[in-house]
Structure 1
């Protein structure tokens, strides 16, 4: 997937995202599950908004993303606030060559951008190999309910002076998947005219049980499954599902 101009518009689209909630969630789980180290890999870090915030909270953050443009924005953010974060361009399904981390996070439903079951399985396996013993993996995904009832066949729009967008969502070809068709209209201040940028994005999710099975098969112990930044189990209409898993020693 090429993010092209979307990399520079992503923060506009995500300006109301609960970033503070993700940061607090990570901090709380590190305390709850006795994580003593501070090395954290922000997988699919995007424009680095969470990477920077986590670094400001004392984590030793490394960021990985597939998009060169996203990483350019992320690097600029880190430099602007004076935090040092190494960023690397990699596909999360082909993660190699990184050090071991105490925490690996894949936030903002980024895992849902993987298109096949095989890619999810490979990602879980690679994450296992890059965690310290007893390290934890935290990620969140869209629920099947959200994909099916809150995205598919829905239209979202925003109209502002500098940037406007129209966002249409359609059923994907795979089960529990959605295609997002986004059109951005960005003001060119020199001419007073709007430039149009179009993007197509694919997301796919699975059941809680399926994610849990894949984690277990990869060698993880599933510590907790909760929803919507709460400490309670997912309900039928929960929208965002959180998983916390610990690396355990594989049987020889």
Structure 2
């Protein structure tokens, strides 16, 4: 049985409210999802997190199912959906082993969540699981980072400062190391939390992210029963090139 080791790779999502504080305002991916959405069918979001996209789509009148493997993120999503007075079915499931009550004409997964599937076997299991829950000619939209060699060639160390949801000052020290044989980027963070310039807490976390190259993606998608309708270099639909930071795929179930 294929094991999704993402279950052991979720330190970054320990604080769903902080996740919202940092990312809830990002909406660049929403326009393309709306463009492909059909109001007559249930839409499925995988790795929906705290409902960053699920909720605004539901507010537009679409019938939504949100799926995630992280219980805390889903509880936050349910709370927010209630506050926004929208009805969404949130399900705690492994995306590589979906057992959903419907098939859809549109499934999507954004936020580079594809990178959490770290092995060939798990990537294939995800795509097969998605395909089984799409109707004929159904569409799967997702993104992943475009591996840029100059960014992966050396250990990357950098600092980041920001304010958290309580107004405390956060200083983060990041160290990213790329493992070429597995194509996995291991990201480590040391976090220092200051209140009125006094250090009040120290934290550490990490995450591992798989990098997949365009030709590798093409073979993987076609091998798992998809045809690529379009691939972009970002959510603004700019043409993919060697400097693009993202790979944004629109795929259709092949006949």
Q: TM-score range by the shorter chain?
A: 0.7 to 0.9
1:170 maps onto 2:179 in alignment: no
Give the equivalent residue in structure 1 for 2:105: 102
Give the equivalent residue in structure 1 for 2:252: 246
1:224 maps onto 2:223 in alignment: no
In structure 1, stretches of 5+ residues that fail to align are none
Q: In structure 1, the residue corresponding to 2:244 is in which secondary structure?
A: coil
Shift in CA distance, 80/159, structure 1 to aligned 2, threshold 3 Å? same
Give the equivalent residue in structure 2 for 1:43: 46
Please report how far the alpha carbon of residue 112 of structure 1 lies from its aligned counterpart in structure 2 after TM superposition.
0.4
Give the equivalent residue in structure 2 for 1:8: 17
Paired with 2:134 and 2:104, the residues of 1 have a C-alpha distance of: 5
Higher mean alpha-carbon deviation, 62-71 vs 232-241, is at 232-241
Pick the aligned partner of 1:202 from 208, 211, 218: 208
Give the equivalent residue in structure 2 for 1:129: 132
Higher mean alpha-carbon deviation, 121-130 vs 221-230, is at 221-230
Shift in CA distance, 101/183, structure 1 to aligned 2, threshold 3 Å? farther
Structure 1 moving runs of 4+ over 4 Å: 149-152, 184-189
Paired with 1:146 and 1:108, the residues of 2 have a C-alpha distance of: 21
Q: TM-score, normalised by structure 1?
A: 0.85
In structure 2, stretches of 5+ residues that fail to align are 1-8
Paired with 1:213 and 1:86, the residues of 2 have a C-alpha distance of: 33
Q: TM-score, normalised by structure 2?
A: 0.84
RMSD of aligned residue pairs (Cα, Å): 2.6
Give the equivalent residue in structure 1 for 2:33: 26
Paired with 1:146 and 1:48, the residues of 2 have a C-alpha distance of: 33
